[in-house]
A and B are shown apart, each in its own frame.
Chain A
Amino acid sequence: MIRTSLRYHRPATPEESTAILVEYAGDVVVLGGGTMILPMMHRAEVEAGHIVDLRGLGLATVTEEGRYVRIGAMVTYGDLLDSDVVAREAPLLRRMAGAITGGNQLRNLATAGGAACYGNPSSDVPAVLVALGATMCLHGPAGERRVPAAEFFVDAFRTAVGGGEFLMWMEVPRLVVEVGYHKLKLCEGSGPIVTAAVVRDGGRTIATVGAASVTPLRFDLTSCVDSGVDTVDELIRDGVVNPWTDVLADGRYRRDVAGAVVRRAVADLREG
């Protein structure tokens, strides 16, 4: 049970939200879908006196904005699956959302933005955002701040979101030419152990590996994508210098399989 007395805030503007985050700094959490933060508060792993619900800010939409698809921070996995724009312009997000372990309850509550802000190395969203070259649009005391996804994930469970800031949108470039994706997990109920998203854009082939390390890792496969298995595996293995370990799988396993996961994502890309 949540042990603290909790004050619930439902601001109507970004400025108001930031003001609350600043005023109660250190004793406040942002509420997305709540699928991660609320159980953690129930287990007393997170304690806070204030909770800021972003539902009043109109961030639950997916829109096309010029060269970008703009995904609000409150867009759920279910919304991603339902969105025609996502299906057309950012199918990788749809692939990712469709392979989330949680069932309907989770898909209808959990947000991709929340997953990003939580920054769990063993999760699907970070590497996909990095692979797509997304931009994370934060709001804070200084107004809007735009951070490339590749810089957003700082460490395990640490992101670029600073004091008084929260995530408003994620902007994903439209029309990435070709993508391939592969996710390895231990069984249906397991979180991701290693994921790979491969993007071919112009002449370049870039793989982004998720869950293998504290933050997503990018590998330029352009020169070796047609080489043998060993070349790719060696490149990936050497790149996963500091592999992530959790109860489900140790770093050694993640490192050992990362090459195969990348190759399977490449094969997926080729098969279209």
Chain B
Amino acid sequence: MTAMVPASAGSSRREPALGAVEQTRRKHGDQLLVGRGGYLDDHEPPGTLHAAILRSPHPHARIRSVDASAARRCRSVRAVVTGAEALSLAEPLPHFFDPSLVGGRTTTVRVLAVDKVRYVGDPVAAVVADSLADAEAALDAIDVDYEILPAVVDAEDALAEGAPTVFDEWGDNVLIRFPFAEGDPARALAMAPHVIADEIRIQRYQTAPMEPRGYLAHWEPTGKLTLYASTQIPHPLRTNLSTIFGLSEDRIRVVATRLGGAFGHKFNGYPEEPLVCLLSRMTGAPVKWVETRADSLLVGAREYIHRFSVGFDDDGRILAITDRIIGNIGCLATWGGWSMTYPAGMTLPGPYLVSDYDIESIAVVTNKAPWNGARGYGKESATVAIERMVDLVAAELGMDPVEVRRRNLIPPERFPHWTVAKHLDSGDYRGALDKVVELAGYHRQRELQRDAREQGRTRGVGVAFELTPEGGDFAGSYVRGFDTSTVRVSPSGAVTVLTGVTSLGTGSDTGIAALVARELGLTVDAVSILQGDTDSCPYGFGNFSARSLATGGGAAVLAAREVRERMALAAGVLLDTPPEGLVFAGGHVHTADGGRSIAFGAVAEQVYRRAYAVPGLDQPLLEATKVDRPRNLTHQPDEHGRMSAYPTFPYSTHVAVVDVDAETGQVRLLDYTCVEDCGVQINPRFVASQIYGAIAMGVGGALFEELPYDSAGQPLARTFTQYLVPRANDLPAIRLDHQCTPSPYTLLGTKGAGQSGVGGAAASLASAVNDALAPLGVRITTMPLSPPTVLRAIRSGGKP
């Protein structure tokens, strides 16, 4: 592992490649393995009090009155607060992403519901006591007088004339409509030799992080507020707290604790964040609240209906598509999950070259609990829909679904390629498809399928192509596409990276450390990384949209280069040689001929001890802070009305093989192959683990994860007994390979690897199951493909 100082150090963004990035295992992975990671709930300063939250048992009701007087007398209760009381103590909560910024409706959300509850679980009052048990017991003593209102739980019901309105002032239940259209799809459909109209329904499900959310606040009498939070986004969380409490931001410290899974579930914007702060202020003590699994399972993340038409010619070329997407986003809240309806439409028409299309994605509010972000971010929904369309085209023409995809994929020479809301960076889509076909032994799988069918088995082979826009940047919100990192060298030579991006346990922290280590000729062990503490880290936007390396990683590299330049100047003085030819490698700085060297730490020490005293040692600032961002963002519509809020476009191809048990509807996933292209891989081990995890998530969503509600608006899944997530034995060993088309728009050529796989897995399983059932004349358009759904379809014999 060598690191060179190129003559042009720092002068160009795209420098010749240095040595390889050191491939290590996850930093502190050993601590995680032995259970010493330490999560939010492991923090408990002396004197910590515990909060419990009274939640609405009704999906929709007016609050006539709340009487909390009896609760105040319960054992060890220190404070009780109701929505009405909190009005004067906390300003409205800022939205994670206010829909009014993009022309949608909005609402004012308070820390606790004041006059109306709009979903089961809506927070109404809170209690603080010495123990959680006492706090929860006191909840029973709070008397709320509700006037029950008619509720609406189904999105199509919510769109119907005369439906109950979730927000009366809106007049209907449409939060926003996102149109994405190009060409003349009506005409193209009318002229198309073939047109298929169909639909697919995707159930409400979420990401089920193993560690639920939690917050621990201490508002000290000095006026300093510290919040430990199981959050992905500490800095904007701090900004929000400042707004809510009118407390200067510099007096607030937010520390994002180690995350036991997040996936978007831990974006900021939840009422519990300010609530624990308020309760700490009221009691003068640290106050903790941790989400129960039942609370956690309230958070929605996906639920869509796609109604589409696809027009195509005899050769399987897609001429036009329309898709009307309805997202049941539950109630609007300040957690920003509703915004996933944007990528759900924007991603279309996916990887395919379609010049005429008309997509509309509609976010509809209902009396279900709100969504928060979720890995896939709506793109997985678009993938399921477009891949279904392609499969239908193939089935109608009796063509191989791989061939139909090949014919329609955007060819490599078309990049960069504009659609109305995407400027696709780079790719070799056909290459990735060919590669997965080869790796999966696709044609052999088809032969095996024929054999299996002859033996009476119900075997299916599914194919999917997933396009995964990443790195989203939404000016006007705090969901931004740039980030900041600092690199600091101490006198001993220890290197610390402080960055505004956070790590969810994906290994991006280790990746950033390895990048900095490479720039400075050190090993990863010599570089530590500090994230998530707003007192020490530069302001940043945390983790979302697989952005860490393309933003904070790029910034850290730029900062390391600046520090290296100064270190090179110093080393040049100390070695009495020109700095240009110096080589940083193996923890030393070497002369160009390799004849002499000085330890990296010794350079740092001499700078601190002798700067300004020794001639030439006059750059003692061994610290640099840089911002970086992917280019390729178009914030304002261009002359064709096109814009692009996502700078990078990783993609993946998938082949799944399933057996369906025709007597029970059980789907067994026999074989799975994926080829992904996330541009340059900084550490293939971490990329692979992301893809594996995303595929597992997509398989769970395709087959059984579901958050059902009854027709009255009560959520039915409250524990993992009812919400089923995949286990190891549900999954085959995944065959994975990579392809690399670097992003021309990011410093390191990366594209993001945190989400690819969810949509591809869901789509390839839907494809495989439908392929399996085709000889029975049966199609399934409702997800998940759980045994009851599959069996019902089989028994229906194809009749609706």
Tell me, yes or no, whether B666 is within 8 Å of chain A by CB: yes
The reply to whether the CB of A238 lies closer than 8 angstroms to some CB of chain B is no
Q: Residue of B at shortest CB range from A43?
A: B294
Does B573 lie at the interface of the complex (its beta carbon under 8 Å from any beta carbon of A)? no
Q: Is A260 within 8 A of B664, CB to CB?
A: yes
What separation, in Å, do the CA atoms of A260 and B708 have in the docked complex?
27
In the complex, whether A230 has a CB less than 8 A from a CB of chain B is no
Is A189 within 8 A of B726, CB to CB? yes
The CA of A104 and the CA of B665, in the complex, are separated in Å by 29
- In the complex the two chains form, what is the Cα distance from A38 to B718 in whole Å? 16
Could you give, for residues 716-730 of chain B, a 1 whenever the CB lies within 8 Å of some chain A CB and a 0 otherwise? 111111101111111
How many angstroms from the CA of A52 to the CA of B480 in the assembled complex?
Answer: 57
A253 touching B787, Cβ below 8 Å = yes
- With A43-B294, A253-B787, A253-B788 in contact, is A189–B137 under 8 Å at CB? no
Complex interface residues of chain A between 97 and 154 (CB less than 8 A to chain B)? none
**Residues of A within 8 Å of B, CB-based: how many?**
26
With both chains docked as a complex, state the minimum distance between the C-beta of B153 and any C-beta of chain A, in angstroms.
16
Q: Which of chain A's residues have a CB closer than 8 A to the CB of B241?
A: none
B399 at the A interface (CB under 8 A): no
Q: Among B292, B722, B724, which residue has the most Cβ atoms of chain A within 10 A? A: B724
Docked complex Cα distance between A186 and B292 (Å): 25
Q: Is the CB of B663 within 8 A of A187?
A: no
A177 at the interface (CB under 8 A from B): no
**A103 CB to closest chain B CB, in angstroms?**
9
Distance of B726 from chain A, by nearest CB (Å)? 7
Interface flag for B596 (CB, 8 Å): no
Given A189-B724, A189-B727, A249-B788 in contact, is the A44-B716 Cβ separation under 8 Å?
no
Q: Considering the complex, give the chain A residue whose CB is closest to the CB of B706.
A: A247
B-side contacts of A188, CB under 8 Å: 726-730
Query: Which residue in chain A gives the minimum CB-CB distance to B786?
Result: A186
Nearest residue, chain A, Cβ from B661: A260
Q: Which of B128-136, B155-163, B576-584 faces chain A?
A: B128-136
A260 to B703, CA, bound (A): 21
A4–B137 CB distance below 8 A: yes
* Complex contacts, B708 vs chain A, CB 8 Å: 247
Cα–Cα, bound, A256→B663 (Å): 9
Known A-B contacts A189-B727, A253-B787; the reply to A247 vs B294 at CB < 8 A is no
Q: Is the CB of B787 within 8 A of A186?
A: yes
Determine whether the beta carbon of A187 is less than 8 Å from that of B137.
Answer: no
- By beta carbon, the residue of chain B nearest A248 is B722
Q: Which residue of chain B has its CB nearest to the CB of A246?
A: B722
Q: Find out whether the CB atom of B663 lies under 8 angstroms from the CB atom of A260.
A: yes
Task: Tell me whether B724 and A190 are in contact (CB under 8 A).
Answer: yes
Are A187's CB and B722's CB within 8 A?
no
Q: With A and B bound together, what is the CA distance between A44 and B708 in angstroms?
A: 22
Instruction: Verify A187–B788 contact, CB threshold 8 A.
Output: no
Residues of A within 8 A of B131 (CB): 1
Q: Name the B residues within 8 Å of A187 (CB-CB).
A: 703-704, 724, 726-727, 730
Asked if A184 is at the interface of the complex by the 8 Å CB criterion, the answer is yes
Alpha-carbon gap, A248 to B721, bound state (A): 9
Question: Closest CB-CB distance, B322 to chain A, in whole Å?
Answer: 34
A227 to B123, CA, bound (A): 59
Interface size range of chain B in the complex: 35 or more
Q: Mark B771-800, 1 if CB is under 8 A from A, else 0.
A: 000000000000000111001100100000
* In the assembled complex, A88 has its CB within 8 A of some CB on chain B: no
Question: What distance in Å separates the Cβ of A175 from its nearest Cβ neighbour in chain B?
Answer: 32
A191 interface residue per 8 A CB criterion: yes
Tell me whether A176 is interfacial, beta carbon within 8 Å: no
Query: How long is the Cα–Cα vector from A193 to B703 in the complex, in angstroms?
Result: 16
Residues of the B chain whose Cβ atoms lie less than 8 Å from the Cβ of A247: 708, 716-717, 722
Q: Is A250 an interface residue (CB 8 A)?
A: yes
Within 8 Å CB of A4, what residues of B? 137
Between A2, A187, A188, A260, the greatest number of chain B beta carbons within 10 A of the residue's beta carbon is seen for A187
A170-212 CB contacts (< 8 Å) to partner B = 184, 186-191, 193
Residues in A whose Cβ lies below 8 Å from that of B729: 188
A22 within 8 Å of B by Cβ? no
A1 touches B664 (CB 8 A): no
B727 smallest CB distance to A (angstroms): 4
* Chain B stretch 286-338: residues in CB contact (< 8 A) with chain A: 292, 294
Which B residues touch A261, using CB under 8 A? 664
Q: Given that A186-B704, A256-B791, A257-B663 are known contacts, is A191 also in contact with B721, CB under 8 Å in the complex?
A: yes
Contacts of A189 in B (CB 8 A): 720, 724-727, 730
Question: Chain A residues near B717 (CB, 8 Å)?
Answer: 247
Most interface-central of B137, B728, B788 (chain A CB within 10 A): B788
User: Which B residues between 710 and 766 are near A, CB-CB below 8 angstroms?
Assistant: 716-722, 724-730
Q: With the chains together, A44 CA to B138 CA distance in Å?
A: 12
Return chain B residues, CB-CB under 8 Å to A1. 131-133, 136
CB contacts (< 8 Å) of B788 on chain A: these are 249-250, 252-253
Kindly report which residue of chain A lies nearest to residue B727, judged by CB atoms: A188
Q: Name A219-256 residues within 8 Å CB distance of B.
A: 246-250, 252-253, 256
Assembly CA distance A249 to B784 (angstroms): 13
Inter-chain CA distance A247–B788, complex, in Å, is: 11
Across the two chains, which residue of chain B brings its CB closest to A6? B133
Which interface residue of B137, B728, B792 has the most chain A CB atoms within 10 A? B137
Closest to A190 in B: B724
A247 CA / B714 CA spacing, docked (Å):
12
Check A3 against B791 for contact (C-beta < 8 Å).
no
For the complex, what is the distance from the CA of A191 to the CA of B786, rounded to whole Å?
Answer: 14
CA distance A252 to B294 in the complex (A): 27
Our pick among A3, A252, A256 for the contact of B136 (Cβ within 8 Å) is A3
A3 to B135, CA, bound (A): 8
Complex CA–CA separation, A256 to B665 (angstroms): 10
Knowing A187-B724, A187-B727, A249-B788 are in contact, say whether A3-B716 is a contact too (CB < 8 A): no
- Chain B neighbourhood of A43, CB < 8 A: 292, 294, 718
B725 CB contacts on chain A under 8 angstroms: 189
Please determine whether A184 and B133 come into contact, CB atoms closer than 8 angstroms. no
- Cα distance A254–B313 when bound, in Å? 44
- B residues within 8 A CB of A248? 722, 724
Give every chain A residue within 8 A of B132 (Cβ-Cβ): 1
Q: Which residues of A contact B787 (CB under 8 A)?
A: 184, 186, 193, 249, 253, 257
The answer to whether residues A3 and B137 also contact, given A187-B730, A189-B725, A257-B791 and a CB cut-off of 8 A, is yes
Please, which residues of chain B bring their CB within 8 A of the CB of A249? Answer: 787-788
- In the bound assembly, the distance between CA atoms of A80 and B787 in angstroms comes to 31
CB distance from A265 to the nearest CB of B (A): 13
Question: Smallest CB-CB separation from A120: which chain B residue?
Answer: B721
Contacts of B718 in A (CB 8 A): 43
In contact, A186 and B136 (Cβ under 8 angstroms): no
- Chain B residue with Cβ nearest A103: B727
The answer for the CA separation of A188 and B665 in the assembled complex, in Å, is 15
Q: CB-nearest residue of chain A relative to B50?
A: A1
A268 to B574, CA, bound (A): 81
**A259 closest partner in B (C-beta):** B663
In the bound complex, residues from chain A placing their C-beta under 8 Å from that of B724 are 186-187, 189-190, 248
Distance of A138 Cα from B196 Cα, bound (Å): 65
The answer for the CA separation of A256 and B787 in the assembled complex, in Å, is 11
Residues of the B chain whose Cβ atoms lie less than 8 Å from the Cβ of A252: 788, 792
29 A-B pairs, CB-CB below 8 angstroms? Answer: A1-B132, A3-B134, A3-B136, A3-B137, A4-B137, A43-B292, A43-B718, A184-B664, A186-B704, A186-B787, A187-B703, A187-B724, A187-B726, A187-B730, A188-B727, A188-B728, A188-B729, A188-B730, A247-B722, A249-B788, A250-B788, A252-B788, A253-B665, A253-B787, A253-B791, A257-B663, A257-B664, A257-B665, A257-B787
- A contact set with B: CB distance below 8 Å: 1-4, 39, 43-44, 184, 186-191, 193, 246-250, 252-253, 256-257, 260-261
Query: Which 9 pairs show the lowest CB-CB distances between chains A and B?
Result: A3-B137, A1-B133, A188-B727, A253-B788, A260-B663, A1-B132, A247-B722, A188-B729, A247-B716
- 16 new A-B contacts, CB < 8 A, other than A187-B724, A256-B791, are A3-B134, A3-B140, A43-B294, A186-B704, A186-B786, A186-B787, A189-B724, A189-B730, A193-B787, A247-B722, A248-B722, A252-B792, A257-B787, A257-B791, A260-B663, A261-B664
